[in-house]
Amino acid sequence: MTWLLLDADMLLFQAVVSAEVEIEWSTDIITTHLPVKEAQFIFNELLETKRNQAQADRFTLCWTANENFRKDVAPTYKAHRTRYDRRKPVGYRAVRRWAEQQFPSECWHRLEADDVLGILGTRHQYKTVIWSGDKDLKQIPGLHLDNEGNIYHISQLEADVYFYRQALTGDSTDGYPGCPGVGPKTAERLIEETGFDEAAAWRTVISQYKKKGLGADYALTQARLARILRDTEYTFDEVQLWTPTSIPSVPATTLSTKE
What's the half-sphere exposure (Cβ side, CA atoms, 13 Å) at 171?
A: 20
Compute the distance between CA of residue 99 and CA of residue 7 in angstroms, rounded to an integer.
13
Name the percent of the chain lying above pLDDT 70: 92
Question: What pLDDT was estimated at residue 83?
Answer: 47
Taking only the tens place, the pLDDT of each residue in 192-220 is 999 999 999 999 999 999 999 999 999 99
Burial (0-12, 13-18, 19+ Cβ within 10 Å), 2: middle
Q: Report in angstroms the alpha-carbon separations of 153 from 95, 213, 232, 242.
A: 32, 38, 21, 24
* CATH tag for 157-228 (out of 3.90.1200, 3.30.700, 2.40.50, 1.10.150): 1.10.150
pLDDT band with cut points at 50, 70 and 90 for residue 249: very low
Average pLDDT score over the chain? 92
pLDDT band with cut points at 50, 70 and 90 for residue 175: confident
Compute the distance between CA of residue 183 and CA of residue 203 in angstroms, rounded to an integer.
18
Predicted structure pTM score: 0.91
Say if 3-154 and 157-228 have the same CATH topology.
no
Compute the distance between CA of residue 154 and CA of residue 160 in angstroms, rounded to an integer.
10
Domain ranges of the chain: 3-154, 157-228
Compute the distance between CA of residue 160 and CA of residue 177 in angstroms, rounded to an integer.
20
pLDDT band with cut points at 50, 70 and 90 for residue 84: very low
Q: Report in angstroms the alpha-carbon separations of 90 from 15, 22, 46, 84.
A: 12, 11, 19, 13
Helix, strand, coil proportions of the chain in percent (round to 5)?
45, 20, 40
Question: What pLDDT was estimated at residue 247?
Answer: 56
For domain 3-154, the CATH class is alpha beta
